[in-house]
Amino acid sequence: MNLTNALGWTLIHFMWQGAIISVLLAGTLALLRQAGPCTRYAVSFYVGISVLVFSAVFISLAVAQTGSPITGHWTIARPVFQDHVLLTIRCCGNTNSNMNSSTPVPLAQFRGLIRAQLESSGPVARFEIVRDAGTLQLQGYLQNGGGGGTFTFSPNPNFVTEMRSLGYSGLSDETIFALTVHDISTGFVRDMNAMGIHVESAEQLLATGIHNVTVEYARELQALGYSDLSPTKLVTMRIHGISTDFIKEVEALGYSHPSIEQLVTMRIHGVTPDWARKRADRPDGKPKDSRHPELTSVSLWLLP
């Protein structure tokens, strides 16, 4: 919890606590109505000071309790492939959520780490991954292309501010951490908005990151004529392995602009362009409409 949230909760609790204190103070002053004004003033003064002290203590406890950095463990699996390594992040240290994420990461994203270090063994290595949402500071051992150790996460305050301006308010440290792991940036949100694809929530943003929905993928689909795209459709297409190359192969068989639903159905049932070519008698794989009417519609490719 950051300072803003802590102040907000302090104000909320102060409202009911202040009401109770006010009633108790009024009762006390009623009992002291025979006392001198100095006594009554002193009681009111010390009650006011006590309220301020308790509020300060609450803010300190709130920040200390929930402001601890997110920590966890990391591993890098060998081998290095095309200057990418498989990075696994496991957390969390002082949070109630758990994460276990493995994703290929370019070596160029590791600050303070070069390939020679990764391939050799030596003292404890310290390096970091800096992304738009925050920074992962890693330390541990490296040996023969792999390694492991611990990390500490530091959120980027500017990211929170920019995301709020884009309509994503109230992001928790855990959500910001997850957005960092899946490399979701404000640039991604702006580019998707510019294409008319509005990701409504942080949960949808995480889904696009987990399933590798990129700006480039969305642009390629729009270039193929798929203008009515949504985050849900994009994630579904990624889940079922619908690449733009797959769509081009289908269209090359003579089926103009199959719908997203048809493409998903094909992938679910294992329909491939090679399978479709075998269903047709022409060497180029294009069906003769008069002899193979069942191949005139992609949705009917599933016929036995």
Specify the number of domains making up the chain. Answer: 3
Residue 204 within a domain: yes
pLDDT of residue 58: 60
Residue 131 within a domain: yes
Cβ-count burial of 270 within 10 angstroms (0-12 exposed, 13-18 middle, 19+ buried)?
exposed
Does 78 share its domain with 57?
no
Residue 169 within a domain: no
Residue 174 within a domain: no
pLDDT of residue 24: 76
| Domain end (from 159, 193, 214) | 159
Give per-10-residue mean pLDDT for the chain (304 aa): 57 69 75 76 72 65 62 86 88 66 91 85 88 96 89 95 95 94 96 96 95 96 95 96 93 88 91 77 47 44 44
Does 62 share its domain with 74?
no
pLDDT of residue 217: 97
pLDDT of residue 63: 54
Q: What share of the chain is helix, strand, coil (3-state, %, to 5)?
A: 50, 20, 30
Residue 129 CB neighbour total at 10 angstroms: 23
Structure tokens at 223: 């270039």
| Domain end (from 21, 43, 66) | 66
Does 51 share its domain with 96?
no
Q: What is the pTM of this model?
A: 0.70
Residue 292 within a domain: yes
Instruction: State which residues form the domain around 261.
Output: 184-300
Q: Which residues contact 74 (CB under 8 A, 6 or more apart)?
A: 87, 88, 89, 90, 136, 138, 140, 148, 149, 150, 151
Does 31 share its domain with 58?
yes
Give phi and psi for 117, each to the nearest 5: -65, -40
Residue 112 within a domain: yes
Residue 143 within a domain: yes
DSSP 236-256: HHHHTT--HHHHHHHHHTT--
Torsion of CA 125, 128, 129, 131, to 10 degrees: 180
Residue with tokens 């990075």: 87
Does 39 share its domain with 95?
no
Structure tokens at 66: 């929930």
Q: Note whether 2 and 68 are within 8 A (CB).
A: no
pLDDT of residue 64: 52
pLDDT of residue 294: 43
Can you tell me whether residue 131 is helix, strand or coil? Answer: coil
Structure tokens at 160: 């929170």
Residue 165 within a domain: no
